[in-house]
Amino acid sequence: MSASGVDDPRQARVQAAWLFGGSLALRLLVVAFAARRFPPADDGTFYHAVAARIADGAGYTWAWPDGAVTYAAHYPVGYPALLGAVYALLGATPLSAMLLNALLGALLVVAVHAAALRVTSLPRARLAGLAIALDPTLILYTAAVMTEAAAAAILLLLASYALRLHARGSSFGARLPLGIGGALLLLVRPQLLPLLPVLGAVALAVPPEIGARRERWLRLRSALEVLLVALACCAPWTLRNCSKMDGCVFVSANGGWNLLIGTLPEGRGSFAPIAGPTVPTECRDVFGEAGKDRCFGRAGLRRIEAAPLAWLALAPQKLGQLFNHSAIASSYLQTSNPRLIDERARTAIATVETLYGRLLLLAACAGVLRAASGTLGRAVALGAGLVTLSPWGFVAELGLLISVVIERPGPGRRPLELLAVSVLGLCVVTHIVFFGAARYALVWLPWLALLLVLPRRGVANRPFGARGRASLLTAAHAADDNFRSSRSPSDAAD
């Protein structure tokens, strides 16, 4: 049953089907227009080339102009591997990549709708789904052979599944897909690893008779289970790197690069190339991917230790690059085909992207204000909303983060808000440490639609559907509380 008391799972499925079909149709229109006009660009040229080699059976390797072939792991393997599977079936063309992106984009919309149903009514869940289905950045980014939208879709699918388990109870077997899917998420975007224990802690409903200490232990165990399964699934790739590369690499060999880039003032908080004078002297004769990454990482740490305040002073610029505008699809399209997308067209598309993104942020602030139970949380949410349409979008995002944190969400109480604040908090910390760019915020963007539809203060949230209630009752009375669980009374105040 949803928060409004509507109890019609069939209607929810029909609604989800319409959202999926409509979202897919919009994205396929982009594919039809873009497939022959927009070749891979930026990092997409690398993903496309590696995916084509994977499809041909050459694995994640790189062919150099002199004919040499080397094993590679500079970028995460997950997205090129997905592309490689599609290329093997449909051919190594931009059309194939865009079709995969269109499918992932439609699944993202369904995941948002499913997650929203855990806290709100069918009409408001539909609103959340439509907000993402019609987002111009996500629609146009279907043409981009890039990883950010794929990571957003996988994360939301995992989150919606975790919230489903939270409402209905779960065993280790039911949580196993979280770990396996979490491994895929790590292989696409390894910096999201800290979210896996949060997903595991949420994916558990605790019987009312269990005390707080026992609940904390059960949630900790569930969190560790999901994390360890994901790491175990990633282990073969790590072992491959240890065997084939010049050093062990967990997923990708670019963390040291990104750390060093994040210390360079010439980047103004965003990407700056490491070339010429910016290459540390001790790294100039290091050519292996793993060794160079470690060398760059050590150089970055030395720069931070030598001038920590100067490094911290870059944080507002990094967050500004991350959140101040949403010119993501427009930038990619212009890079891919500057003759078709000239500066005037890029500016027009970027304006639409940014305006839509800011309005969605404003709606999310209104949703948090509506749901906040304390005066301080409401005040911070209101302040965040007031600066949403200013040039300083990152200030509004930080205000949104603080306002949700003030409400003290937890895995048993307000789990959706806990997941949202975890995603936003991780984005903020990650890009303060490294560097910012608007496309990196795509993994956070869909969560704005979920904050938009949070229930009003004092409205109890109940699991959607009659089967959910039956599962909870069964779980609450199960003899083995290690594997069967139900929702705690605190969830009712969610």
Residue range 163-207, pLDDT digits in tens: 999 988 778 899 999 999 999 999 999 999 999 999 999 998 887
Highest averaged pLDDT of the listed ranges 28-32, 373-377, 482-486? 28-32
Angle formed by the axes of helices 343-371 and 329-336, nearest 10° = 160
Please tell me the pTM assigned to this model.
0.91
The answer to whether residue 102 sits within a structural domain is yes
The answer to whether residue 468 sits within a structural domain is yes
Please give the C-alpha separations between residue 318 and each of 177, 219, 252, 314, 361, in angstroms, as whole numbers: 35, 34, 22, 6, 19
CA dihedral 331→332→333→335, nearest 10 degrees, is 90
Domain that holds residue 332: 9-493
pLDDT at 230: 98
The answer to whether residue 488 sits within a structural domain is yes
Residue range 3-35, pLDDT digits in tens: 434 457 899 999 999 999 999 999 999 999 999
pLDDT at 276: 87
The answer to whether residue 3 sits within a structural domain is no
pLDDT at 110: 98
The answer to whether residue 286 sits within a structural domain is yes
- Band (pLDDT 50/70/90 cuts) for residue 476 is very low
Name the percent of the chain lying above pLDDT 90: 82
Beta bridge partners of 71: 61
Residue 474 has pLDDT above 60, yes or no: no
Half-sphere exposure of 221 (CA within 13 A, CB side): 15
Q: Which residues contact 469 (CB under 8 A, 6 or more apart)?
A: 1, 462, 463
pLDDT at 464: 44
Q: Of residues 49 and 477, which shows the higher confidence score?
A: 49
Tokens (6 digits) for 173: 């077997």
Distance CA 96, CA 324 (A): 32
Q: Which residues contact 88 (CB under 8 A, 6 or more apart)?
A: 54, 55
pLDDT at 493: 31
The answer to whether residue 4 sits within a structural domain is no
pLDDT at 188: 98
The answer to whether residue 432 sits within a structural domain is yes
Residue 483 has pLDDT above 50, yes or no: no
Distance CA 473, CA 256 (A): 50
178: enclosing H helix or E strand = helix 172-188
pLDDT at 147: 97
pLDDT at 463: 42
| Phi/psi at 337 (5° precision) | -145, 80
Residue range 276-293, pLDDT digits in tens: 888 999 999 998 999 999
Residue 88 has pLDDT above 90, yes or no: yes
Average pLDDT, the chain: 90
Please give the C-alpha separations between residue 414 and each of 55, 334, 417, 419, in angstroms, as whole numbers: 43, 41, 6, 9
Distance CA 113, CA 103 (A): 16
Beta-sheet strands, E only, within 39-156: 61-63, 69-71
The answer to whether residue 2 sits within a structural domain is no
What sign does the dihedral 208-212-215-219 (CA atoms) show? Answer: positive
If one counts the domains in the chain, the total is: 1
Mean pLDDT, residues 202-225: 88
Q: Of residues 455 and 141, which shows the higher confidence score?
A: 141
Distance CA 107, CA 14 (A): 15
Tokens (6 digits) for 447: 């969560």
| Phi/psi at 69 (5° precision) | -125, 130
What is the DSSP annotation of 476-491? HT-S-TTT-----GGG
Mean pLDDT, residues 208-224: 88
- Band (pLDDT 50/70/90 cuts) for residue 459 is low
